[in-house]
Amino acid sequence: MNIKDVKTAIKIGDFVLRKNHRNKIDIKYPPNIDKKILTDNSARIYLIIQDEVIKKIGGSTSKGGIRSTMNPYISAMTGSPGVPRFVIHLLVEKALINNSKVELFMITSPRTLAKVSGLFGYKKVEIASFKEMENLCKSDYYSKEEKYPDWNFQENHEPYPPELARKHNLYHQKRLSKR
């Protein structure tokens, strides 16, 4: 699906290659973007786009906004990354090396007042649940494409690319052998 078909997303930045760094990619945010957009704690859906095609749909409510949400992807060559973020990091790197344009878009929803259960009763609080937004976005995508985006491996019940999964295993073997 082309990002031009999406009516609710805003562009947040472009993925770029990093030179001489363990992490191969970074995100360049436009200088004119409101910093509040990057750090807003509202529930958010992120779309990773390659050459105008949606490759990954994900969601988060992590503190620190979209910057915080993207940090595990752009720092996946350090620490103890899980397979999904490690593989996406390498897929983005490969796309950039092959001169593809890789962009980051975001969708948010307004908070709404809802009756929420606590331990001793109910209280009306503002909520914005990312899981329902994420599921709707994935469902919308599936209704048009009859599959999920290519990099949503788990939803598509597909294995990660074997060479990238192998790199993930080797990364952890090397990391653990240094202890």
- The whole-number mean pLDDT for each consecutive block of 10 residues of the chain, a chain of 179 residues, reads 97 96 96 93 95 97 93 94 96 98 94 92 89 95 98 97 96 86
Q: How many CB atoms lie within 10 A of CB 16?
A: 14
Look at domain 3-164 and name its CATH class. alpha beta
Q: What number of residues does the chain have?
A: 179
Instruction: Note the pLDDT of residue 57.
Output: 98
Q: What is the pTM of this model?
A: 0.92
Q: What is the DSSP letter of 30?
A: P
What DSSP string describes 138-157? HHHHHHHHSS--TT-TTTTT
Residue 54: per-residue pLDDT = 98
Integer Cα distance of 52 and 35 in angstroms = 24
The rounded distance, in Å, linking the Cα atoms of 114 and 134 is 19
User: What pLDDT sits at residue 176?
Assistant: 86
What is the rounded radius of gyration, in angstroms, for the C-alpha atoms of the chain?
Answer: 18
Both tokens assigned to 69: 């949400």
Q: What is the pLDDT of residue 101?
A: 98
What is the per-residue pLDDT for 60?
A: 93
